Structure 1
Amino acid sequence: MKKKWFYPLLITTTIGSALVHFFTKVEWIQFTLACTSLLFWAALLGKATESVAHYAGERLGGLLNATFGNAAELIISIFLVKAGLFNLVKASIIGSIIGNLLLVLGLSVFFGGLKYKTQQFNPILAGHNASLMMIAVIGLFIPATFLQGVPHTSVFNVSMIIAAVLIIGYFLWLYFSLVTHRKELSEQETEANPTDHDEDEGPAWSKWVSIFMLALSTIFVAIQSEWIVATVEYVAHVLGWSELFVGAFLIAIIGNAAEHSAAVFLAMKNRIGAAVEIAIGSSLQISLFVAPVLVFIGLLFGQHMNLIFNHYEIAAVAVATFIASSISRDGSTNWYEGVLLLMVYIILGAAFFVVR
């Protein structure tokens, strides 16, 4: 980070958040400072991940960015599961999926498209991503449809089976895309879509400094996430917002801050393939790995979280998957397609805000 104001504000908000958390216990101040501090640490996490990605390569770099960008979301969700706030967990999972598919991808495509008339990426990868997102929708739809009225024990057992299948499928996808078919799915630089080397300033830090910054920012993201969870119910009650809206939009936007910054900057450097890998890859990781693994993590805390989502959440993911697949499947984007994604995100946000 080269902005002179960044690190002073990072340190100030972090110290302020710690003082409020340990000494004053004023919930709304704690929530505000923790959210602000988390945004700064998430931005640093995104920068560190981008720097590590420089040494790891484009596709693996995109995966690393999505993985560590989702660290905030996973950590927040773990604390929510521990507290037994399953509705908030599920809402934040849905919010993260649609946030990445619509907001992160939409902003990336829009700002990248303003600078470059048409941006292209691997259409084969886009097709696989679309198919995997449909699997995610199926994984949400089947339990909600077939397990209504079924005894709780049976619901949880089926949820564990589905969760295990999704996790195995996700790791097989990683093996397929990064090992057996790595060449076919890699981004190829062409004359029609050259990478903007003039604007690519290279990594911010050396390899080991980048890894250290990645670890440090992940730790502080975890700390701030726990403090946010401790106050989120109070804030939602005071503002009169539903758990659905708080989880699906407020927590999801905060948790996805790392992806927001990294994906948009990459798209503006004409590295739309990496930006798409972050946005869609992150959604796949949330739906095929993070959500299922929370079912098993809940067992560590004696909590039985199932995979039954309400019809609002399923409809939101289905709509987001449909429009994102429609736009990205041909491997070509422009700024207006970014507008379309953002329009759908705003429509869903308005609907979620009034649902109780």
Structure 2
Amino acid sequence: MVHLPSRPVMPNSWIARHIGMRAVRSIYIVLLKAKINMLLPFGPLAILLHYVTGKHGWVFFFSLLGIIPLAERLGYATEQLAFYTGPTVGGLLNATFGNATEMIISIYALKNGMIRVVQQSLLGSILSNMLLVLGCAFFSGGIVHYNKVQVFNKSAAVVNSGLLLMAVMGIMFPAVLHFTRTEVHFGKSELALSRFSSCIMLVAYASYLFFQLRSHRSLYNPINEEGDNDQDCDEDEIPEITHWEAIGWLSVLTVWVSILSGYLVDAIQGASDSFNIPVAFISVILLPIVGNAAEHASAIMFAMKDKLDITLGVAIGSSTQISMFVIPFCVVVGWIMGEPMDLNFQLFETATLFITVLVVAFMLQEGTSNYFKGLMLILCYLIVAASFFVHVDPSNDAN
């Protein structure tokens, strides 16, 4: 009887060593490789200061610094996952997880009854994405490709502009109803209208996802670039981590952002008093800049690679998602919690949003970009920031 040699079996020690090496490599790439991760220790420091000193100003400041690298790393992990899902789903994932920071902060603030902070931070996210993020992307791309006209898919931009105008309509009517004193039941009619409009906006956003991912996928195909340029980009773009590692890091980073957001929200009022900065400025300008760190980095990077369709998918797609999904979702969550969260963002904020959407829609109508368009959007954002620095929120006195 002849005995065949048995098939060699990999020793468990080798498998464990391989898994350990992969884990160490993944930790190095995600947590140590990027220079922005130098800010990561500020998160634990903020929590330590919260319990040791109780100085809300410093807790807020260090929490803000600690969330910046987490938001950027969320964007990185989403970008890595997009290599395995394709560009359209990848852009949607980038916008979704890019907005995870704002969404978590909003739910914490809503749980604490800070409705105005929720409204203003979400409004600020829309303004930041449409003016600052898109402006910096157009400016950077225009400088890098100075002798070339950068183009993008105008049809997809028009669809997003239409959704943003619909969101403005949904937010504007409760404010107009309130300030014209034409409500049937004062204080109740605008809340009922807000909840009804939020449900309609959620249906519209779900229809938009079906339109984007299923029925009209070809509409969102990027405009063909030059062949040589595409080959160079394909050589550079290789995923650094596996899709399971990306999913794991998304989960870990989201949990850590959730923990840090709780301390950040608790310290907002104390930081306003300590630094003598209006709560409106903190909510509309500072919080969104931190929350949009992922979109900011991704949009500029893609614009410099002459991939403006992905840039618009990140910046304008994120604004569309916040206005048509996150804001209505917060209204519904507030309804479940018993909090009177509505779409009445007050007259000043609503007018700012309306003018911003018109300016950006005008910039996108030609389907081209350059550094001057980007500069104009950045300067518009500076005007908005200065306006909120001198703006007194009337609802604070009313509450």
TM-score tier, shorter chain, comes to: over 0.9
Aligned to 1:176: 211
Distance 1:14 1:352, change over 3 A: closer
Aligned to 1:30: 59
1:1-356 alignment runs, 5 A limit: 1=29, 4=33, 6=35, 9-116=38-145, 117-148=148-179, 149=181, 150=183, 151-191=186-226, 194-195=229-230, 196-197=232-233, 200-356=236-392
Q: TM-score, normalised by structure 2?
A: 0.85
Q: TM-score, normalised by structure 1?
A: 0.94
1:296-340 CA distance string (max 9 Å, x none)? 111333211111111211121112111211112222111111001
Distance 1:176 1:5, change over 3 A: closer
Contact kept in structure 2, 1:38 and 1:224, CA below 8 Å: yes
Distance 1:303 1:124, change over 3 A: same
CA-CA distance at 1:95 after TM superposition = 0.6
Task: Name the CA distance, whole Å, in 2 between partners of 1:122 and 1:264.
Answer: 17
Structure 1 vs Structure 2: percent identity of aligned residues? 35
Structure with the bigger RCO (C-alpha within 8 Å, sep 6+) is 1
Between Structure 1 and Structure 2, how many residues are aligned? Answer: 356
Larger radius of gyration: 2
Contact kept in structure 1, 2:57 and 2:272, CA below 8 Å: no
Distance 1:73 1:180, change over 3 A: same
1:109-142 CA distance string (max 9 Å, x none)? 1111111232211111011111111111111111
CA-CA distance at 1:178 after TM superposition = 1.1
Task: Name the CA distance, whole Å, in 2 between partners of 1:80 and 1:219.
Answer: 16
The amino acid that maps onto 1:336 is: F
Contact kept in structure 1, 2:58 and 2:271, CA below 8 Å: no
CA-CA distance at 1:291 after TM superposition = 0.7
Q: Which runs of 5+ in 1 are unaligned?
A: none
Task: Name the CA distance, whole Å, in 2 between partners of 1:8 and 1:77.
Answer: 24
Provide the secondary structure at the position in 1 that maps to 2:222. coil
What is the Cα-based RMSD across aligned positions, in Å? 1.9
